[in-house]
Amino acid sequence: MDSMVFEPSSRTIHYYHTLLGVADNEKAVTSKKAELRRALGEALKADPGTKGYKDAGFSFRYTYHSEKAPSKVLFDVTYTAKDYQR
């Protein structure tokens, strides 16, 4: 994780990551977006460290950038309470 910010207007905790090496592959990330979304969602549901935030109904956003082209967003997903409380 590169950084984390809280966006008060949307009550979102936003995590920024950089993909490095072999993971920094736009074609591979694009072809696996559904799997990545599902895996991150399951990890969020299981994470006891975010329980208080989830109980309060916060949203969680994950943005993954390329190391080779830092302005390039390879993957961006937001989970709301309806996503992680199922």
Residue 85 confidence (pLDDT): 87
Mean pLDDT of 69-76: 96
Q: Which residue has the tokens 């990545």?
A: 36
Residue 43 confidence (pLDDT): 96
The reported pTM is 0.93
pLDDT in tens, 19-71: 999 999 999 999 999 999 999 999 999 999 999 999 999 999 999 999 999 99
Nearest to 25 by CA among 68, 71, 70: 68
Nearest to 13 by CA among 66, 67, 49, 65: 49
Residue 1 confidence (pLDDT): 84
- Per-domain residue ranges of the chain: 3-84
CATH number of the domain located at residue range(s) 3-84 in this protein: 3.30.300.250
Residue 56 confidence (pLDDT): 96
Residue 62 confidence (pLDDT): 98
β-strand 73-79 against 3-7: which pairing, if any? unpaired
β-strand 59-66 against 73-79: which pairing, if any? antiparallel
